[in-house]
Structure 1
């Protein structure tokens, strides 16, 4: 029995995948009774124990509880991918998206799902990763209720808008469609800072009026590639940075004149990226007007934020996240603490308020410069920052001995890929009493917990913080304690 491409099936959505897509199942009888479409290689059979009894189907734009008519797009051995054709019975959790381009834009994959159901989905995703990948029995008993947002719209303090042309040569500015580099044209975003609705029309009109070229990814030609905006939610300061395939912007004074009419405008700059690459930012920034950075607060700690700085995009929920990390660290003022992947020192400075000494390490040199400036800005002196890969810097310091070679508490906040194995091995040898793991990916978090558990670390607490409403992502913080 072959599953046929373009064949139509009725399916009930019973679960959600990692990116928020709906999941349903087709039985053998479903496949056998459908004669439409084009044969594709996947087969479903019950003749022996090695073959699947049901085919799992992933369907974008569907919700748990939907009964839907779908068309099969692609199939593998035991899974398939479908396209929503028609809703037969909508889910009670389905809502109308606020954004008119939510379905086509790649930014908000869950805006058609009630916010309460989004939170339930994220909590369950973390739980299942801990259970299946981390091999944690009954993770529910360790997990706090999810920390959701009071207001899940207009929460992002940073946005990166690609710039291009449509087939008629008109300027397009917006976000990429899901899994493509096709730009969905829009001057507004339901999760972005509201000031962007003023910034984008000004830049669109400027580029059109002065016929400024836009970057073409295929040819590598054209000037303006992206528009980066940052907003200090506490200070009200605004940054606009144009990423350009060149060293200057024609008629820049006119753009400055228009942008500086926006309340809070603090920094207007260029980022130079002349490489033929999908990487958004280049290594060099040039200030056109105002300051090379903006400032903002998380709690009572003030931070300088430059175009290249890593800074959490949701300051309200970041405060929740960092306060939870500080709670889990359980500092009394006598501890030596390491902060791995410290960025501009956001967590380091939070920890330094209650620790004896904090050491931070980060691979991005500009971030370390910002971290040191941030320490000065807050008159915090019990921190020291190192530039380099955590998996290289920390083992070298540990082997050398002396200051910083031991830690009472270690905090890690790695990129999505999780911690490097060499770093984990070094942390195990450093033998801290407590390890606080902050993660944006529950799968790699669970993988690393599975490595730390045999070394004597016991998972005690887990908090899930929704930093990214209407997307499939969330932040997590876990406490692992050394068994005595």
Structure 2
């Protein structure tokens, strides 16, 4: 006999008291009313609020705060003037100590939800934070628009298509803000047209600025809807005059109706094609479209945590799967017997080979997937002792999990940007003979709800 479904006993528009128990994965407060989960944007753990249901489904409700009965001692005033509109940050109203504590709990919740692992029995460390958790992002990507005839640049508001003008983003490196604001003014002065998404007309779509924290180089990339650049020479003269420190000006053409920022064609308008940046002792050359970690200060801490977890003695064969331009592999290469890496993007492998050669590091780089190369190398008599994985938010492919279980490396170091997929993948690897030994959360993006983690799994 079928059991009737439990219906949510909350109605849209209903007001009710709620105690916030935890922080959700998107930075929202989580509480329970009549045993149903309620998500409340802006509420903090430990707070008692009166809220109003704004959306109700059969699994959960979302609500907004009507009034506070008890505020968290960690609540603070967000310093950004457009914090409530922008949607780029979620936690500016929470003290930084509170952010680090709650991010560790978000990782804990994921493992409680998807596994039966007792985290008290492993090395579960406190979140590694920043000394200065502001102005840390090395790349700014601002959409361009018009408001009352004035050129604006910023981000779209949460869950809407309203463009919020951001004169100064306080999580961006201050130089990227300066470049964006100056370019906006030059575009206004020269009357260069701005792209209108609805009409699919106009020239300038996005201003992308990247800064080398350690080299002081600036790269300006203009994403345009057309290749023909109106008043190009005048524009470049003004950039050179007003922003003499810019070392690279790039045009990227994206004529498609798409939410993707970059198109396929890139043209160097002036200066260098690539920006130079350093991580530790390593130098990297970055094209406008190349992926690179957005917080170089925390990246070094993240890679140090991965290297520590790998526990290399100089006797291990190491694989860096999802290697990109080779950053993590190069970071651990001095302690590896041999390093082999792969990535599905051919350009990334070409860059990785150059980066390794520039630092006199001998390594093998192949285009393709780890699930192809690991068994192939094993047949050739080469076996991985340690595999480092740094997958996208979707986590590891099931085929790679199966391959790892079949090829039996001694240790897997998993660098994760999504606690939920990390926990699910650890559960699957546990079934194949691996045991979680340590978890290290790292705060790569202060003021946001995102948290990275480094997990160490060892073969039983």
Q: Of 391, 402, 405, which residue of structure 1 is paired with 2:380?
A: 402
Greater alpha carbon shift after TM alignment, 55-64 vs 464-473? 55-64
How do residues 372-411 of structure 1 correspond to structure 2 at under 5 angstroms?
Answer: 372-380=353-361, 382-391=362-371, 393-394=372-373, 397-398=376-377, 401-402=379-380, 405-411=382-388
**Which residue is equivalent to 2:319?**
338
Report the CA distance shift for 1:5/1:424 in structure 2 as closer, same or farther (over 3 A): same
Q: Could you tell me whether the CA contact under 8 Å between 2:20 and 2:48 is conserved in 1?
A: yes
How do residues 186-335 of structure 1 correspond to structure 2 at under 5 angstroms?
Answer: 186-260=166-240, 261-262=242-243, 264-335=245-316
SS in 2 for 1:353: helix
**Which residue is equivalent to 1:456?**
433
Q: CA deviation at 1:25?
A: 2.8
TM-score when normalising by structure 1: 0.89
Q: Could you tell me whether the CA contact under 8 Å between 2:176 and 2:210 is conserved in 1?
A: no
Structure 1 segments unaligned to the other structure (5+ residues): 28-53
Q: CA deviation at 1:141?
A: 3.6
**Which residue is equivalent to 2:390?**
413
SS in 2 for 1:14: strand
Cα root mean square deviation, aligned: 2.0
Q: Please give the alpha-carbon distance, in whole angstroms, between the structure 2 residues aligned to 1:139 and 1:176.
A: 41
Q: Could you tell me whether the CA contact under 8 Å between 1:214 and 1:224 is conserved in 2?
A: yes
Q: Which string of whole-angstrom CA distances, capped at 9 and with x for unpartnered residues, describes residues 359-402 of structure 1?
A: 2212223222221221122222x2122223444x4267347x32
How do residues 144-223 of structure 1 correspond to structure 2 at under 5 angstroms?
Answer: 144-166=125-147, 168-223=148-203
SS in 2 for 1:473: coil
Q: Please give the alpha-carbon distance, in whole angstroms, between the structure 2 residues aligned to 1:17 and 1:152.
A: 21
Q: Which string of whole-angstrom CA distances, capped at 9 and with x for unpartnered residues, describes residues 429-469 of structure 1?
A: 22111111000001101111111112111111111110010
TM-score when normalising by structure 2: 0.93
Greater alpha carbon shift after TM alignment, 86-95 vs 316-325? 86-95
Q: Please give the alpha-carbon distance, in whole angstroms, between the structure 2 residues aligned to 1:216 and 1:359.
A: 46
Residue 442 of structure 1 pairs with residue 419 of structure 2: yes
SS in 1 for 2:174: coil
**Which residue is equivalent to 1:76?**
57
Q: Could you tell me whether the CA contact under 8 Å between 2:374 and 2:384 is conserved in 1?
A: no
Q: Please give the alpha-carbon distance, in whole angstroms, between the structure 1 residues aligned to 2:375 and 2:202.
A: 45
Q: Could you tell me whether the CA contact under 8 Å between 1:155 and 1:314 is conserved in 2?
A: yes
Q: Please give the alpha-carbon distance, in whole angstroms, between the structure 1 residues aligned to 2:67 and 2:228.
A: 50
Residue 15 of structure 1 pairs with residue 22 of structure 2: yes
Q: CA deviation at 1:138?
A: 2.9
Report the CA distance shift for 1:279/1:390 in structure 2 as closer, same or farther (over 3 A): farther
Q: Of 403, 406, 409, which residue of structure 2 is paired with 1:426?
A: 403
SS in 2 for 1:287: strand
How do residues 19-168 of structure 1 correspond to structure 2 at under 5 angstroms?
Answer: 19-27=26-34, 54-139=35-120, 141-166=122-147, 168=148
